[in-house]
Amino acid sequence: MNLKDIILDILFPRFCLGCGKEGGYICPSCSLYVSEALLICPVCFKESFSGETHPSCREKYGLDGLVSIWQYDGIIKEAIKNAEAGGAYDILRELTQKSFKIIATDPSRRFDDFLSFLSSGETLVSFVPMRKIKESKRGFNQSEVIAKELAKIIGRSCVSSLQKIKHTEDQASLKKEARLQNVKNCFSPIKNEIKNEPGSHEPGSSKKDIKNLKNVVLVDDVFTTGATMRECCRVLKQNGVQKVWAFSLAHPSN
């Protein structure tokens, strides 16, 4: 732990959401009860060993794969909901770090495809945008917090590539079919405004046009029906991005 983390820990101690023990939001003994999810294809939701989209499920502007770490229930669900409600976005950072530990140490090597995508020199991290009004009420965008932490871990830039241009109904209140319709055409690319994060390893200019993005890891907190991620991916790919993998902390079990 660095000094800043030690000080923050003293000022704002973290308590386990499962048992109340001090030290972190999910203590080591409670994390034994957290279920990792099988990787699934982001189109048909059936199992896919590495999370890569099945060849038969591929679409022209569709996602190339999905990595979603946990089942969206129990402590994980509580942690994400807590972050949403209380603005404790360091919960999201802790979960992102934990998820990456799983990715990096999984003995089955199921994350190899995702890791090689991450290690490609052309890959940057981006996130599902949130409408400004909602963002300012809550103070932060969860998917951006996770994306920034992920970018930091892998030493890449986190870029804002999309903006939300249309009001949508809360996806949670809609049935699966209605969700795709709800998010249709509600995102547009950000052009000429993309800033690199300080500390990035990218040489050269600090601005990056979406047209120059090649590979994107698109981040959201939960992958539910995938409607939002798929729509974001369509806009990215129609604007020149070649490969998009989705990353989320959790998805509901089928």
Contacts with Zn ion, residue ranges (CB under 5 A): 16, 18-19, 21, 27, 30, 41, 43-44, 54, 57
153/83 Cα distance (integer angstroms): 20
Question: Cβ of residue 32: shortest distance to Zn ion, in angstroms?
Answer: 9
Contacts of 231 (CB under 8 A, 6+ apart): 180, 183, 184, 186, 187
Question: Cβ of residue 135: shortest distance to Zn ion, in angstroms?
Answer: 31
22/10 Cα distance (integer angstroms): 11
Task: Give the nearer residue to Zn ion in terms of CB position, either 21 or 81.
Answer: 21
Crossing angle between the packed helical segments 90-105 and 142-154, to the nearest 10 degrees: 40
Question: Cβ of residue 23: shortest distance to Zn ion, in angstroms?
Answer: 9
168/174 Cα distance (integer angstroms): 11
Is 195 exposed, middle or buried, given 0-12, 13-18 or 19+ CB atoms closer than 10 A? middle
Question: Cβ of residue 158: shortest distance to Zn ion, in angstroms?
Answer: 28
Question: Cβ of residue 44: shortest distance to Zn ion, in angstroms?
Answer: 3
Task: Give the nearer residue to Zn ion in terms of CB position, either 16 or 210.
Answer: 16
Contacts of 145 (CB under 8 A, 6+ apart): 83, 89, 92, 93
Task: Give the nearer residue to Zn ion in terms of CB position, either 52 or 144.
Answer: 52
Task: Give the nearer residue to Zn ion in terms of CB position, either 49 or 122.
Answer: 49
49/242 Cα distance (integer angstroms): 22
